[in-house]
Amino acid sequence: LSNVIVNEVDSPEPRRRSDGERSHAAILEEAAQLATVIGIDGLSIARLAEAVGMSKSGLFAHFGSKEELQIATIKAASRTFTQRVIDPTRVAPTGLDRLRGLAENFLRYLESTYPGGCFFASVAAELDTRPGPVRDLALRINAAWLGGLERAIHDAQAEGDIDPAEDPEQLAFELNSFLLLANQQFVVSRTGEPLDRARRAIDRRLSR
Amino acid sequence: LSNVIVNEVDSPEPRRRSDGERSHAAILEEAAQLATVIGIDGLSIARLAEAVGMSKSGLFAHFGSKEELQIATIKAASRTFTQRVIDPTRVAPTGLDRLRGLAENFLRYLESTYPGGCFFASVAAELDTRPGPVRDLALRINAAWLGGLERAIHDAQAEGDIDPAEDPEQLAFELNSFLLLANQQFVVSRTGEPLDRARRAIDRRLSR
């Protein structure tokens, strides 16, 4: 999964960043925060300029168009997702540990990262009926996430921790269902209850 | 559930409708269709006037403001939901039959009613971070849906068809998860595959 997402965002090796790049990253972080509240379609250069206190022409120097800004914001959110949700599972000793780690990291990420919960759930719900390159990129990242869950399930089956008769796609669908409803209810309720419901559902589903 | 939703929308007894009312209903049907594609926040009187081929002043005679239009649209969508998803389950002989009927009717409704899938999932995802009376009404209808699932589970427990040790709220959360991810994937893929995944997940969850 992480390979797919990393390729998706052309992430280079970590290196020292110049001031210009730091500022670019800070602008995109603000853009991602804003997109989960007002929607990615509401994310115009004018609106972002107001939020970060820069001139519109200053922002145009960073992003030539609204669409470029949206694509850059999605790529930045993808890097954040990889760092918070996927990277910590690289050291998991088994497929089942990785699967549980992905789910738990997702629940923590949605609680602590954006005001509108999971960035990609928010963008996917908004753009589902609006074809175009921004939607396509968001959908590819969602598909990569599901693919990562499926690979962890495959590995857990090979290791004898999940019944080999399970269909990995079906199981990934069910686990992802719990995570996404938890996200939706968390954004509205701002309580940990839906996150705990998802944890119980996942525990039950994997403990058989 | 249906009582809650019917109260919610102040639905009167069925009666003969005048031409004016028919036209009003037709406008709201168009508004609900449009809202699942452009979002309920994009649903202005100007935009709807264009879609139904009426003058803005003609529409103002029906709805005094954008917010009134949005509220009326949600109430109309609630009536449609009650008719398509809830009413057919009134004759179900058992709680388990009613529960399965609600799920199956939901899957058929989302396939055949609006271009953007379930109206309420679409509106809830859009308005989750935007407080106000439009969001509150949509959330109350979502809560009534979950409550209806819970009551069917309670009845099925009393009838011995579902383990009395199950927490009805937890089980309703899990079943609703499957339905909502099916909705989300259906809107994007336009194939029956996610609907069948939800059916398999529900069958498995209820057959123990």
- pLDDT tens track for B101-110: 999 999 999 9
Out of A176, A177, A187, the one facing B128 most closely (by C-beta) is A187
Q: Residue B131 CB: number of other CB atoms within 10 A?
A: 10
**CA distances (Å), B5 to each of B29, B138, B142, in order?**
18, 11, 10
Give percent above pLDDT 90 in chain A: 68
Q: Which of B115, B129, B176 sits opposite A129 (nearest CB)?
A: B115
User: How far is CA A85 from each of CA A9, A40, A82, A137, rounded to the nearest angstrom?
Assistant: 16, 22, 6, 19
Instruction: Give the Cβ contact number of residue B111 at 10 Å.
Output: 15
Chain A residues with CB-CB distance to B123 below 8 A:
none
Q: How confident is the model at residue A133 (pLDDT cuts 50, 70, 90)?
A: very high
Contact (CB<8Å) A177/B177:
yes
Query: Does B174 contact A39 at a Cβ distance shorter than 8 Å?
Result: no
User: What angle do helix axes B119-127 and A168-189 make, rounded to 10 degrees?
Assistant: 50
Axis-axis angle for helices B193-206, A168-189 (nearest 10)? 90
Tell me the residues of B at the A interface, defined by beta carbons under 8 Å apart.
36-37, 39, 115-117, 121-122, 124-126, 128-130, 139, 169-170, 173-174, 176-178, 180-181, 184, 187-188, 194, 197, 200-201
Distance between CA B62 and CA B52 in Å, rounded? Answer: 13
Cross-chain CB nearest to A170 (options B124, B176, B197): B197
CB pair distance less than 8 Å for A126 and B126: yes
pLDDT of residue B95: 98
Q: Do B129 and A184 touch (CB under 8 A)?
A: no
For B125, the closest of A37, A139, A184 (CB atoms) is A184
B contacts of A121 (beta carbons < 8 Å): 125
Query: pTM of the prediction?
Result: 0.88
Q: Across residues B163-171, what is the average pLDDT?
A: 97
How much is the mean pLDDT over chain B?
A: 89
Nearest to B173 among A116, A187, A197 (CB): A197
End-to-end CA distance of chain A: 26
Torsion of CA B145, A104, A5, A77, to 10 degrees: 70
Q: Which residues of B touch A190 (CB under 8 A)?
A: none
Residue B134 pLDDT > 60: yes
Cβ count within 10 A of residue B187? 23
Largest CA distance in chain A: 58
Cβ separation A177–B173 shorter than 8 A:
no
A contact test, residue of B122, B136, B173, B208 with most A CBs within 10 A: B173
Query: What per-residue string of b and e applies to A85-110 under the rule 16 or more CB within 10 Å gives b?
Result: bbeebeebeebbbbbbbbbbbbbebb
Q: Look at residue A22 in the predicted model and tell me its pLDDT.
A: 57
Give pLDDT tens digits for A93-126.
999 999 999 999 999 999 999 988 999 988 888 8
What pLDDT does residue A95 have?
98
Its ipTM equals 0.86
Query: Distance (Å, rounded) from C-alpha A175 to C-alpha A153?
Result: 11
Pseudo-torsion of CA B137, B202, A100, A157, nearest 10°? -160
- Cα–Cα distance measured from residue B60 to residue B66, given in angstroms and rounded to the nearest whole number: 9
Residue A142: per-residue pLDDT: 92
Mean per-residue pLDDT, B168-190 = 96
Q: Tell me, what's the pLDDT at B18?
A: 58
Q: What is the pLDDT of residues B62-101, one digit of tens each?
A: 898 999 999 999 999 999 999 999 999 999 999 999 999 9
State residue A7's pLDDT score. Answer: 43
The reported pLDDT for the residue numbered B10 is 44
| Test mutation, B122, B177, B189, B205, chain A, max A CBs within 10 A | B177
Residues of chain B found within 8 Å of residue A188, distances taken between Cβ atoms: 124, 128, 139
From A42's Cα to the closest Cα of chain B, the distance in A is 11
Q: What is the pLDDT of residue B130?
A: 84
Q: Residue B125 has which token pair?
A: 């995802």
How far off is chain A from B201, nearest CA to CA, in Å?
A: 7
